[in-house]
Amino acid sequence: MDAVLTAVIDIDATPEEVWNVLTDFAAYGEWSTFSAAEGTAQVGNRLTMRMPGMTFRPTVTVATPGQELRWAGTLGTKRLFHGQHSFVLSSNHDGTTRLTNREEFSGILVTLTRRLFKTPKRDGYAAFNKCLKQQVEVFTERSTW
């Protein structure tokens, strides 16, 4: 059984401006809900993501500047646990950017731990989006001075 978590937000900036903050992993500890992130947004690269009580090392599978960042990670085998995280950026007619933050989980462990994918985790994706929005909008405001 699969689990999907999605959070969407509009950001007052271009997709390129959102991309620049989203992929600046070294700065995540300053503003994001991740306590630290390391690596570069290039297909095939492994990232190190640290959150309270958890560290994981996904592999970047899509890195299209200004459009999409995707990574995937597996615990054991894909049949046991597989997670795929994506950030999709799309331009709105008013010049803002819509960010869709989505994670898809599959595997036997998802069925056994289904309750872990309920509201608190979903709220974490919305919280990340809000932090990213604030960082991007402050960053882009400063750069126009």
Distances (CA, A) of 78 to 81, 105, 139: 5, 10, 38
Q: Confidence class of residue 74 from pLDDT cuts 50, 70 and 90?
A: confident
Which is nearest to 59 in space by CA: 41, 74, 71?
A: 71
Its pTM stands at 0.84
Top-confidence residue, 79 or 37: 37
The domain containing residue 59 runs over which residues? 3-143
CATH number for the domain including 126? 3.30.530.20
pLDDT in tens, 79-116: 767 788 999 999 999 999 999 999 887 777 666 665 65
